[in-house]
Structure 1
Amino acid sequence: MIKSFLAFLGGEPGEEKPMLLLLGMGFFMGIFLATYQIGSETLFLDVLGEEYLDVAFFTAGGLGIISTLLFVFLQRRISYSTLIVSNLFLIFIFMALMRGAFEWTNYAESVVDDVKKFELLPFLMFVMMGPITAIVLLGFWGVFGRLFDLRASKRIIGGIDTGALTSTIIAFFSIPFITELPFINATYDLLFVSALASFGVLFFTIWIVKAFNIDKITKVNHQEEKPQEVSFVDLMKDPYLRLMSLFLIFSMGASVFVDYSFYSATEIMYPDEEELADFLSFFSATVMLMSFGIQSFINDIIIGRFGLKVALMTMPLILILFTVGGIISGHYYGYEVKTEVFVFFFMFTVCAKAFTASLKDALESPAFKLFFLPIDVKIRFDIQTRIEGVVNEMATLIAGAIQIALGLLVFFELIHYSYFVLVLAGMVVYLSGKLFAQYKITLKKTLEEQKSRLTDEETKNENNTSAVLIREADRKDPEKIINALRIFEKLEPIQFEFKLLDLLNSRFPQVRKYAYIKLEQKLVYEALEIIKKDFKTEGDEEVVAAATSCIEKLEKADQFEVNDVSIRQLVRSTEAKDRIYGARLLIKAREDKYLAYVLELLRDINPEVRIAAMITAGKIRRPELWPILVENLHLSTYANAAMSALEHVGEAAFHAIDTSFYKTGQYQSSMLRISQLLGRIGGRSGVELLWKKVEFPNKRIVSEILLGLSYNGFEAKDFQAARIKISIESEISDIAWNIKALLDIPKEDPTDLMIRESFAEEDQKNYNNIFMLLGMIYDPQNVILVRENILDGSTEGITFAVEMLDIFVEEELKPKLLPVMDELSVEERLARLLNYFPPEDFESYYDLLLQIINRDYNRIDRYTKALALYRLATIQEAEVSNDLIANLFNPDALLRQTAAFTMYRLDKDAYQHHTKRLQPIMKKDLDKAIVPPVFKEEGEEYHQRLLLIERVLLLKEVPEFKKVPGELITYIAEELDEIIVPEGTTLVDSDDTGVIPAYIVVDGTVDVYQNDVKVEERSRSGLVGHENLLNDNNFDYIALTRGSCTLLVLRKEELMDLMSRHVEIMEAYLDILNREVGKEEEEESVSDVLLSI
């Protein structure tokens, strides 16, 4: 029961205790605030009356300033738990002493009916109401903010706030009944209830402090730079802060004058103390209900649709309306004596007070907080404390002083205060416009300041393998640098050589030694002079030895005399190492007669020889060789070397590269790599060639094209910007569709959960594309700042990001873009997008799955489609529909096979009937994968292998691939082979190098031994043999199968090919090499922040 209630409030398992404690604290807080407020207001008006209101407001303002400054002073010097417990203890003592003082001073006997005179106790209760309320609320929300992180706070705050508000409203409505209790003989007896309630708040606070460490979030590192402090003089010097202070002074001043009129009119209307208490309690409860209603239903509408300017003007404009009504009715019906028609003046005054209090709390205050966002975060909270704390109380002090001064004027009566309210409200309206205009100026100024802090490198989209590897190679950990270089060597062989030269100056000896060894292996004799120069400053003995060996070998190669005879002996040698040596030496043979030898080596049967020849082809930059390099872009073994060579050639190879892109029957992998090449080489020509392909009907290739354009800082002009905007709208449309789809996907079946995760990955890609596209039509620095503020995750950060977008995004795009960037609920986000992207209605979950299957390939990836097809096999209402039949002819092997499997599960006869229409070889492959064998034979070649979708599901269980998106997992699954090995098979031996394949355990167990001692066993989804990549690295363990094992085999060449095409796979493998799997927290994406609300 309790868990269900907490879940209704937004709680999750594990949050029961802190939520229950906060609800208990909020319950007693509501009772305390209600009873104390009504008691103090009733006693003051009944005993002291209008005559002392001005002095009371003046004193309350002074005490408020003192208490606020003292709170800020102590908060910086003592722990938060000590501060809050001490405050609540003092409040409890104050309540108890006040109740005792009424008893000890014989207060009841000292008060004579109908005689107004100064009494200290009611006065003290009234003037302390503001400071005490502020301190209690600060403590409550401060504890809340320290108990839950940002994500949990967003989820729970509504429930906790509603709970505290409900208890306060109930307490207000209960006061007439409380006063009827036997032990409540006078109004001041409400202090007894207040004292008990304050003790309840103190009790729950101590419980929370003991149970949870609420001080950890406020602990400061004294070595860090102290935050800059802002003086009150600075508030007046800065035009923006001056306007904020003036606005708050006039707004608060208007509220104080309204309070004066309200209390005075209420004193006239309800001379009886009991009636007065009942009215004030019901009125306060009504105000809180109004405030809750405005905050729940009107706040977002006004701020969202009409903006902050209207939000600030709403309260003063409504105040002017009721004040004018009060002035007219007061002059016409009277305002000094209670008569039958006095009620008209009273009602206008009550309405003015009710709407002022509720709108100020529910609309003006939240809107005003947003005006602090353009201020530098280092000083923002100090300024906010000073303005909302000290300046706010100063406004009460000033208003009280003015009321005292006006009270000295003989002719100044109650009705004249309403005229003063009109002036103050008019000033608030005027200052709202001025403040909003200055807000826009300050926002632009802040945007420019933040932009100036960004470097050019930060504004480039460097989400490609080369950039990531270069960053990794510049890390401060030598082991991680070398791990990055090992991948670099395979993916970018020519760029790898240049990076080695840079690392000869590394501060780590092991890195310098590694660089010399690799330069020797790669025979980089063309950089001999650079190597010799760096060698002169080398001081480490081990490095010197490696460098000496390197220089000797490179000098020998450099002095080698290349001629027809010598080079032919090497190129035609039966030894692969001689042919590799010959390929390296051909770099300095630039004459035409040697070109034939390079061509010959480019067709060599040995992969290492062929790769060496490709590196040479890239370095000698002969146009005759470029088509051959392009031909190898689709081959996993040679693609990386060919791509590295073409990248080294540069713009000169553009014609050969671009022509190949449009070749009939060109491989998709080649097109993808050509798009990557054009982006990496860049330049004006590269950008133009990329832009020409932006309409290509393949989302994967278009995404790579956009990434290349973004990497080169592409700025769209005229018609190009219009095309980019269409792409942005398309991405927003996909997000809207995905959000609607997620609402109809259950959370019961594991496959359903995976479909939900796949949509989250889709949204992440969509948001990345939106920011990438925005950077092409607007200032990329502005776009980066928007993204950073959203990723901050705070409500203020997201709001600030939306305000920045509102400045530089064109009006036509705003209504479509801002709803997907703002902090909105799912329902509200869809409602705002409804006019532009009307969502589809799904009759059932089965209908939704069919919609996913039939959705355009450029709007949803194959992984999500495959999961939907797989899920259909277990849906009760599913049948063999045309959707399944059509996918039997899908060119995508994953979707074709999954559709066939689902059809077989639903209706075996239908499967046999419809698959007859396929080509015989294709049907044979499907039958072998899906139909159970009639006769079973022992042996690896006879077993029925996993379906592609089953491989995908298995790979999603592998911890090392946790960060890899599902779509990329499907590409890994297609490269795998499946084998069965007998017991005792050695998968990895200590003398094996990194060229052996990696294994993924499907069934069975693999034991890992080090020094003849079993150290680990790897079962289903465990990886084996994945730690090394290169042929010069040996394993430090032996892996043996325990019993018969079914394994998936991934060749390192295929892995390298996948890494070069997909940076996420490479980053996952870097984590493996660096032993960081599971150690680093996943970075939150924009979609995680915005769509988790």
Structure 2
Amino acid sequence: MVKAFLKFLGGEQGEEKQMLLLLGKGFFMGILLATYQIGAETLFLTVMGDEWLDVAFFTAGGAGIISAALFVFLQRKINFSTLVISTTFVILLFIGGIRAAFEFIGYDNTISGEFQIIPFILFVMIGPVTSIILLGFWGVFGRVFDLRQSKRIIGGIDTGQLMATMIAFFSIPILTNWVIDQTYDLLFVSAIASFGVFIFTLLLAINYNLDKATKVIKGEEVQKVSFFTLMKDKYLRLLSIFLIFSMGAAVFVNYTFLSATETMYPDEKDLSNFLSFFSGTVIVVSFLIQSFINDIIIGKFGLRVALMTMPLILILFTVGAIVVGHIFGYQSKTDEFIMFFVLTAVGKLFTASLKDALENPAFKLFFLPLDIKIRFDIQTRIEGVVNEIATFLAGGAQMALGLLVFFELIHYSYFILVLAAGVIYLAGKLFEEYKRTLKTTLEKQKASLEGQGKRNENNTLSILKDEIVSKDVDQVLTALRLFEKLEPIEFEFVLLDLLNHRKPILRSFAYKKLGDRLCWEAIDIIEKDLNTEGNEKVLKVAKASFQKLKEAAEFKLTDVSIKELVRSTDATDRERGARLLAKATEDRHIAFIVELLRDINPNVRSAAMITAGKVKRPELWPILIENLHLSTYGNVAMSALKASGEAAFHTVDTAFYKTGQYHATMLRIIQVLGRIGGRGATELLWKKIDYPDRKIVSQLLLSLSYIGFVARDFQSARIKIAIEGEIGDIAWNIKSSLEIPDEDPVDSLIKEAMSEEDVKNYQNIFMLLGMIYDPQSVLLAKENIQNGTTESITFAVEMMDIFIDEELKDKLLPVMDELKIHERLAKLQNHYPPEYFDSYEDLLLQIINRDYNRLNRYTKALAMYRFSQISTHVTADLIANLFNPDPFLLQTAALSIYRINKDSYHEHTKRLRPITKKELDRAILPPVFRHEDEEYHQKLLLIERVVELKKIEIFKSIPGELITYMAECLEEVRVKLGSTIIREGDSGMEPMYIVLEGSVDIYEGDHKVAERERGGVFGEKNVTETDTFSFTALARTECTLLLMRKEELLNLMSRHIDILDCWVDIMNGVAEEDEPEIVDVLFG
């Protein structure tokens, strides 16, 4: 029962204790605030009358200033836990002491209008007690829950506290009629409630660390803000003045309301009952406004209107009260007086409700443009101290006006009109200054980026270069080994930079590699650094490398000398010849490079490709392009083409459009254009923006973002259409996700796949926005959303509101703002027609049929797989996918048909090419003729491999679509008991293995150090031939394994940054925390 209630409030498993403690504290807090306020107001009006209200408000303002300033001061000086416990205890003593004072000192309730100290103090302290209690409560809440939990739970906790306060207000008439005799006995209830608040605060402080979040690190400088700063800065000055006028208006409204109420209800019990019902109604109306109207006004009309709503309604009812008061009277209780009283009370009701539910939340947003380091300090000072100063000034003004002989109750309403008009005027000025400050803040944050963000730096080379500057030597060496495989020509320039590295092991590595690769072009640099090398071990390696390079530099490139190397039967000689051909300047030597470019040995061919990149001869480029789709040579060929520069553009662009061109080659060509960059590359890439293939277009966008592409007018229109398409995909995915049940593990995979689709959509949106708007502004908006706080998300949306075109705002901002999922969907469906699904089967068929440019192969394959589990009939949608050019989807469709109806499978696969049908039958059908002793191994299908890979922990960060590419590269093998799978000392190019069935023991020497069972991975940390395995892997039982060749893995790394990022962490043996995805932040 309790768990169900907490779940209803937004809690999750493991959060029960802190939620119950906070709800308990909130419950007693609601009772305390309600009983104290009603008791204080009733006693004050009954005993002292409205004659002392101005003095009371003046004193209350002074007391509020002192208490708020003291709280701000103590918050800096002592731990928060000590502060909150101390303040709740002091409040307990104060209320208990006041109640005892009534008992022992007493007061004369027969005399009205005379000053009496106890009711006066009680009334004056309403503000300080309320503010300190609330500050403590929300301070504890913010420290018990993290940001993600707070966003989810705050509504439930806030509602719980409001409900307790409402119940308390509406219960007071029952208490005064049936339980207590005197109004001041409400303070006894307040004292009990304050004791409850104290106990729950103590329990929270004992069970949770309330000081961690605000603990100042030793030596850390905390920026201080003075009240002089508030007055000096124009924006802060406007914030303060606006609050003074707004709070002043509220104090004057409260003055007229209490004065009219005292006239209307002279009896103490009637007064108490009315005030309790009225205060309860204020909370109810406030709750309704906050729940149903707040978002509409702020969302549709903006912050300016949100600030103007309260004073406009106040003016309406105040004018009505003035007219009625002058016509029917306002000084004594008559039949006509009730009209004046009702208008005054309704004005107070809406003023108080709108201020709490609309103005205060909107006003908090005006602090967002301020520097985060000083924002909360300024906010505390303005909302705390300046707020109390406003009460103090309003009280002083009431005292001054009261000295005027002609000034009566109705004249205060005229003053309210002046203040309300001032609030409206200041709201306009404040909003204008808010926009200016927002732009200034945006410019400052852009300046702090120091040029970063103008182009997309999140690419393969950037990741490896970031690793190379690490202080961890092993991490640097890992990055260098990957760099050598993924970008071999640029790798040589990285080696030159390492010659001056402070770590000897890295200098030694650089010298050795330069020598092995015969980088004779760098001999002068190496000779210079050689003379300053101080480490003997490094010097020895450097001299050996220098000697190799000297021989290479002195090598005379003649037909005889080079032919001897190129035609040698020794692959080492041919590789040496390939590297020395980089010196070729005559046409007759190019034929030798062409010959080596087709060499059977991978090392020789790779060396020839590097040479082809250095000599930059057009006749070599078509051969390099031919190798782009091959996993073994694709990276080297791409590096060579990149080194060839803009001169190769015509050749590679022509190859892109070649009939029957490999898809992998087309993707590589897009990558090459992006890495070379320049205006020519931009034009060639833009020509392909409408290419009907999502993978090509996604890679194209990435390449344009790497270049730092800025769209011209005619291009902007096309990009805006693309952005709208991505937003439409997000809307469709949200609607679909809501319809997916949780009945099977595959359902969870489909939901996760839809979320991954959204991640890709958001990435594309921000890339596209960076092309038509200032990329640094877009980057700052993205980072603020990723921060995950309500304030940072709102600030991001406000920033985007400044630079995004009006035509795009209505569609874009709903996917960026912090909204509940149904609210987000409702706003999006204003522009994108909603989808309706008759059943789960219908939804799965919609996913299967959706445009391939809108959903990826992984999501579609999962939908087919799940459809085969729940459906009893083969649909035309599945049959159509038998002719899908994607082998992964073709095989999954065939499997789905076979599972639903075997006869249908045989009937429809007859229409396929014989070789395709044969492959499907071998993969899907069980053997027909099989001897009972015959060992038969039916391998996993591609979709089954994908599902298995998704279960492996180290691959969790890799999106499902990329997992499908990994699955296609895997081979399934069976090894016998006792087989040696990997030997200690083997090359790092040995495959990576994943255990499907059985057990594998890992030995270092003679000692068993680990074992791998189902889902276990080994051999994944070494990826180059220079690496060697430090362990032996033996099959303890008969095993079924999935293996991936390292060439395939390196090929995937170069094409997909997520796989590279994952493997860098795997090789370093660390699991670095990635920045949160926007989908996780906004969708929870």
Name the residue aligned to 2:109: 111
Q: 1:1042 aligns with which of 1036, 1042, 1045?
A: 1036
Amino acid at match of 2:499: L
CA distance in 1, matches of 2:221, 2:455: 30
Alpha-carbon shift at residue 960 of structure 1 (Å): 2.1
Name the residue aligned to 1:772: 767
Residue 132 in 1 paired to residue 124 in 2? no
Name the residue aligned to 2:640: 645
Q: 1:1059 aligns with which of 1047, 1053, 1071?
A: 1053
Alpha-carbon shift at residue 63 of structure 1 (Å): 0.4
Amino acid at match of 1:1018: R
Name the residue aligned to 2:830: 835
Q: Is the 8 A contact 1:997 1:1025 kept in 2?
A: yes
Q: 1:142 aligns with which of 139, 142, 147?
A: 139
Q: 1:874 aligns with which of 869, 872, 880?
A: 869
Q: 1:419 aligns with which of 403, 409, 414?
A: 414
Structure 1: 5+ residue stretches without partners: none
Name the residue aligned to 2:535: 540
Q: 2:188 aligns with which of 183, 188, 192?
A: 192
Q: 1:884 aligns with which of 878, 896, 900?
A: 878
Residue 964 in 1 paired to residue 958 in 2? yes
Residue 220 in 1 paired to residue 216 in 2? yes
CA distance in 2, matches of 1:737, 1:314: 36
Name the residue aligned to 2:277: 282
Q: 1:162 aligns with which of 154, 159, 183?
A: 159
Q: 2:843 aligns with which of 840, 848, 866?
A: 848
Change (3 A) 1:940 1:973: farther
Residue 38 in 1 paired to residue 38 in 2? yes
Name the residue aligned to 1:174: 171
Alpha-carbon shift at residue 936 of structure 1 (Å): 4.1
Q: Is the 8 A contact 1:940 1:980 kept in 2?
A: no
Name the residue aligned to 1:504: 499
Q: Is the 8 A contact 1:872 1:878 kept in 2?
A: no
Q: Is the 8 A contact 2:797 2:817 kept in 1?
A: yes
Amino acid at match of 1:541: E
* 288-297 vs 958-967, greater mean Cα deviation: 958-967
Q: 1:445 aligns with which of 440, 444, 447?
A: 440
Alpha-carbon shift at residue 938 of structure 1 (Å): 9.2
Q: Is the 8 A contact 2:1065 2:1072 kept in 1?
A: no
Q: Is the 8 A contact 1:940 1:981 kept in 2?
A: no
CA distance in 1, matches of 2:674, 2:100: 81
Q: Is the 8 A contact 2:46 2:109 kept in 1?
A: no
CA distance in 2, matches of 1:223, 1:534: 41
CA distance in 2, matches of 1:728, 1:216: 42
Alpha-carbon shift at residue 940 of structure 1 (Å): 11
Amino acid at match of 1:91: I
Name the residue aligned to 1:86: 86
Q: Is the 8 A contact 1:334 1:341 kept in 2?
A: yes
Name the residue aligned to 1:120: 117
Q: 2:613 aligns with which of 615, 618, 621?
A: 618
Q: How big is each residue's C-alpha offset from its partner over 1:46-84, in whole Å with a ceiling of 9 and x where there is no partner? A: 001111000000000000000001001111111111100
* Counterpart mapping for 1:1023-1038 below 5 A: 1023-1038=1017-1032
Residue 1069 in 1 paired to residue 1063 in 2? yes
CA distance in 2, matches of 1:991, 1:234: 68
Name the residue aligned to 1:1021: 1015
Name the residue aligned to 2:660: 665
SS of equivalent to 2:999: strand
Residue 6 in 1 paired to residue 3 in 2? no
Q: Is the 8 A contact 1:846 1:878 kept in 2?
A: no
SS of equivalent to 2:807: coil
SS of equivalent to 2:1034: strand
* 218-227 vs 702-711, greater mean Cα deviation: 218-227
Residue 742 in 1 paired to residue 708 in 2? no
CA distance in 2, matches of 1:513, 1:878: 66
TM-score by length of 1: 0.98
CA distance in 1, matches of 2:106, 2:820: 57
CA distance in 2, matches of 1:1029, 1:905: 39
Residue 235 in 1 paired to residue 227 in 2? no
Alpha-carbon shift at residue 463 of structure 1 (Å): 2.3
Q: Is the 8 A contact 1:755 1:867 kept in 2?
A: yes
Q: Is the 8 A contact 2:170 2:276 kept in 1?
A: yes
Deviation >3 Å, runs of 4+: 935-942
Amino acid at match of 1:918: L
Name the residue aligned to 1:294: 289
Q: How big is each residue's C-alpha offset from its partner over 1:448-503, in whole Å with a ceiling of 9 and x where there is no partner? A: 11111112243320222122212221222111111001011111111111111111
Change (3 A) 1:74 1:496: same
Q: Is the 8 A contact 2:1002 2:1033 kept in 1?
A: yes
Name the residue aligned to 1:482: 477
CA distance in 2, matches of 1:106, 1:136: 27
CA distance in 2, matches of 1:685, 1:938: 66
Name the residue aligned to 2:549: 554
Q: How big is each residue's C-alpha offset from its partner over 1:937-981, in whole Å with a ceiling of 9 and x where there is no partner? A: 699994110000011111112222111111000001001111111
Alpha-carbon shift at residue 878 of structure 1 (Å): 4.3
CA distance in 1, matches of 2:934, 2:120: 93
* Counterpart mapping for 1:820-969 below 5 A: 820-875=815-870, 877-936=871-930, 942-969=936-963
Change (3 A) 1:6 1:918: same
Q: Is the 8 A contact 1:716 1:777 kept in 2?
A: yes
* Counterpart mapping for 1:255-274 below 5 A: 255-274=250-269
Name the residue aligned to 2:985: 991
* 509-518 vs 853-862, greater mean Cα deviation: 509-518
SS of equivalent to 2:453: helix
* Counterpart mapping for 1:341-420 below 5 A: 341-420=336-415
Q: Is the 8 A contact 2:473 2:506 kept in 1?
A: yes
CA distance in 2, matches of 1:246, 1:435: 10
Q: Is the 8 A contact 2:452 2:776 kept in 1?
A: no
Aligned length: 1084
SS of equivalent to 2:1037: strand
Name the residue aligned to 1:1088: 1080
Q: Is the 8 A contact 2:72 2:381 kept in 1?
A: no
CA distance in 2, matches of 1:469, 1:328: 76
Amino acid at match of 2:618: P
Name the residue aligned to 2:24: 24
Percent of matched pairs sharing the same residue: 64
SS of equivalent to 1:180: helix
SS of equivalent to 1:972: helix
Alpha-carbon shift at residue 180 of structure 1 (Å): 2.7
Q: Is the 8 A contact 2:486 2:1050 kept in 1?
A: yes
Q: How big is each residue's C-alpha offset from its partner over 1:710-733, in whole Å with a ceiling of 9 and x where there is no partner? A: 111111111100000000000000
Superposed CA RMSD in Å reads 1.2
Structure 2: 5+ residue stretches without partners: none
Alpha-carbon shift at residue 922 of structure 1 (Å): 1.3
Q: How big is each residue's C-alpha offset from its partner over 1:788-843, in whole Å with a ceiling of 9 and x where there is no partner? A: 11111111111111111111111111101111111111111111111211121111
Q: How big is each residue's C-alpha offset from its partner over 1:424-457, in whole Å with a ceiling of 9 and x where there is no partner? A: 0011111111111111111111111111111224
Q: 1:455 aligns with which of 445, 450, 453?
A: 450
SS of equivalent to 1:223: coil
CA distance in 2, matches of 1:236, 1:941: 87
CA distance in 1, matches of 2:1037, 2:181: 87
SS of equivalent to 1:226: coil
Alpha-carbon shift at residue 1020 of structure 1 (Å): 1.3
SS of equivalent to 1:1083: coil
Q: How big is each residue's C-alpha offset from its partner over 1:133-177, in whole Å with a ceiling of 9 and x where there is no partner? A: 000011111111111011110110111111110010001000011
Amino acid at match of 1:956: K
Alpha-carbon shift at residue 874 of structure 1 (Å): 1.5
Q: 1:204 aligns with which of 183, 200, 203?
A: 200
* 390-399 vs 467-476, greater mean Cα deviation: 467-476
Q: Is the 8 A contact 2:69 2:385 kept in 1?
A: yes
Alpha-carbon shift at residue 995 of structure 1 (Å): 1.5
Residue 677 in 1 paired to residue 669 in 2? no
